[in-house]
Amino acid sequence: MSWISEDSSSLLSRFCASILKAGPMPRHVAFIMDGNRRFARKRHVERHQGHTQGFDKLAQTLKWCLDLNIHEVTVYAFSIDNFKRSKEEVDSLMELARNKFSRLLEEIDNLKKHGVCIRVLGDLKLLPKDIQVLIAHAVVATQHHNKCFLNVCFAYTSRHEITNAVREMAWGVEQGLILPSDITEELLGKCLYTRHSPDPDLLIRTSGEVRLSDFLLWQTAYTCLVFQSVLWPEFRVWHLHHAVLQYQANYTAIQKAREAQQAESVRHEYHADLEVLCAREGNEDENELMLATTAGERMQRTQMFLRVLCVSSHMSLNSGSPPKKSRFMYVYMC
Amino acid sequence: MCPSLRSQADAGSATTCQAWWRSTLTLPRRPTHIGVVVTGTRGNRASVSPRELATLVVWCVAGGVSFVTVYDALGECSICIFHDDLNARGVTLLDEIVRRHKEILQADWSKFPLEIVDSRWKTSSQKCEWLPRSLHMRYLEKLKGLETLKHFLVVILTSSSLPGFPDPDLVLRLGPVQSTLGYLPWHLRLSEIIPMHSITYSNFLEALHTFAACQPRFGK
């Protein structure tokens, strides 16, 4: 099956979608697609068939999201912890990935038509080399598409992602690109794998589990969390609509909390700039002009640091060779 | 949950800490660290009063939980909790916990000592001796910020978790908002996030039973 389902939505679901769209809508939805194996047991089929059905459900869900004008979707496809599963299951999941990424390259025109940009987030060096190459080709082929975005977390855990980002910031300080006082929440966010995406507005986990399982821990701090008991291959458009309704019910309160947090971040940045200025000038005068200059210098440093990280990432992808160990290591070796 | 225990709890007749302790002993899995996340408001008031929060903390003590963190997500309770000057007017959560500790546990209160650590990662002056059944509580203010970042650096450099605390097994989400609103993002990796619509003992037991029924697979 294709990456985006071409089946037309029912009249009723399109009608309900139009009603939902009258209210606040999430721009970015994250899915923990849980329940494939339990579905396979329930239907008395092999596990790999459960995972295949799970992929087909992803394709349908992406279509439903497009119908709701949700233009960014992040999915938790494979965790680093999933390598603990049996060799047979891991191999079948890798084979499924091989097939689907190869299929993606075959239907590149369809993806171009929908303007779909595919990003794959994770520690890709843990994957077989041929899959790394397929992923690199898929990401490069769609990198200029900008109508909707599909982030596939593959060989991913959030703690690994955060640790990587903190190491990159530590490297930036070591290289003199940024000061320790330049490290802020916002900079950490821009060093994560998801730096090109806004934080998810809504996270849906299926199969009844009520934990995040090391998925987007930092990014979902102010996300509406919806846990549903349906198994992922049985997920229907009504489950998605119900989740969006819950997002709408929580919208005002979460927005208020997010704004308070952003105001707090601005306050922290102000005090950090003040400390730098005081250390430099040797006094504690809050000279507005000099503070603005200090803030401007901080922003220039962080922009330069982020450009260095971005360049190393692009060089790694466009060479057609497998991505390097991490951006941090690649730039260091150069 | 056992229907008779629920009716006992709702009727308010299960009042001894021993009875509560026994009711949780049969659970196959019990949390070591409970995170209490207070979200939302009811009208102009905080969605949870300090007295209700204090009662919940004491239930954790009676339920054999060793660590509790209380996260006041929207700062709505802050008028009553954790000023630098502990002599500030109004009831503080600390005072309320100490009061409810003795009210609820009655003759058994000394068997369940409390160690309360304030939000600046320093132990309080009333540090208790570490006992196997003692409860350690920490109150957190909007931890998703620079303090968290600095803590992350410490975590990565020293491979230690929340200083002295394990990661929360169970997060009780109080209030109407379906979000953790910035509570300990790094530490939430495997936490079961269970809503508690109102602070009643039957809801607390229900949450413990729901937690016990969860089966973490750790990726397998």
Query: Nearest by CB to A213, which of B149, B178, B190?
Result: B190
State how far the Cα of B47 lies from the Cα of B41, in Å rounded to an integer.
4
State how far the Cα of A151 lies from the Cα of A215, in Å rounded to an integer.
13
State how far the Cα of B186 lies from the Cα of B178, in Å rounded to an integer.
19
B25 to chain A, minimum CA–CA distance in Å? 23
Q: What is the radius of gyration, based on Cα positions, of chain A? A: 22
- Cα A29–A33–A37 angle (5° rounding)? 175
For A251, the token pair is 């919208």
At B41, the pLDDT band (50, 70, 90 cuts) reads low
Q: Please tell me what DSSP assigns to residue B123.
A: B
- Cα B195–B199–B204 angle (5° rounding)? 65
Tell me the chain B residues in contact with residue A226 when contact means C-beta distances shorter than 8 Å.
178
Q: Mean pLDDT throughout A4-19? A: 82
Query: Nearest by CB to A217, which of B75, B186, B218?
Result: B186
A265 to chain B, minimum CA–CA distance in Å? 7
Contact B27, B212 (CB under 8 A): yes
A257 to B144: CB separation less than 8 angstroms, yes or no: no
A264 to B220: CB separation less than 8 angstroms, yes or no: no
State how far the Cα of B102 lies from the Cα of B116, in Å rounded to an integer.
15
Query: Nearest by CB to B191, which of A166, A211, A268?
Result: A211
Query: Nearest by CB to A221, which of B149, B177, B180?
Result: B180
Q: Mean pLDDT throughout A170-196? A: 90
For A267, the token pair is 């306050």
A80 to B219: CB separation less than 8 angstroms, yes or no: yes
Q: Mean pLDDT throughout A159-185? A: 89
User: Residues of A numbered 123-142 whose beta carbons fall under 8 angstroms of chain B's beta carbons: which are they?
Assistant: none
Give how far the C-alpha of residue B15 lies from the chain's centroid of Cα atoms, to the nearest Å: 20
Q: Give yes or no for residue B144 having a pLDDT over 60.
A: no
The residue behind tokens 């939980």 is B65
At B2, the pLDDT band (50, 70, 90 cuts) reads very low
A211 to B193: CB separation less than 8 angstroms, yes or no: yes
Q: Mean pLDDT throughout B134-161? A: 48
Give how far the C-alpha of residue A38 lies from the chain's centroid of Cα atoms, to the nearest Å: 26
Using CA coordinates, name the residue in chain B closest to A205: B193
pLDDT number for residue A146? 92
Give CA separation, A311 vs A47, A54, A127, A327, in Å: 41, 35, 23, 9
Looking from the CA of A266 toward its CB, the CA atoms found within 13 Å total: 6
Q: Mean pLDDT throughout B94-106? A: 75
Q: Give yes or no for residue B13 having a pLDDT over 50.
A: no
The B-side interface with A (CB below 8 A) comprises 39-40, 73-75, 142, 144-146, 149, 152-153, 156, 176-183, 185-186, 188-194, 210, 214, 216, 218-220
For an interface test with A, give the residue of B143, B167, B179 to mutate (most A CBs within 10 A). Answer: B179
SS3 assignment, position B12: coil
How close are the terminal C-alpha atoms of chain B, in Å?
28
| More confident: B120 or A234 | A234
User: Residues of A numbered 97-126 whose beta carbons fall under 8 angstroms of chain B's beta carbons: which are they?
Assistant: none
pLDDT digits (tens, 9 = 90+) for A56-113: 999 999 999 999 999 999 999 999 999 999 999 999 999 999 999 998 888 888 888 8
Report which of A114, A115, A116, A29 is spatially closest to residue A72, judged by C-alpha positions. A29
A268 to B146: CB separation less than 8 angstroms, yes or no: yes
B186 to A209: CB separation less than 8 angstroms, yes or no: no
Tell me the chain B residues in contact with residue A261 when contact means C-beta distances shorter than 8 Å.
142, 144-145, 182
Q: Mean pLDDT throughout B73-82? A: 45
The residue behind tokens 């009061």 is B99
B45-46 and B41-42 beta bridge pairing: antiparallel
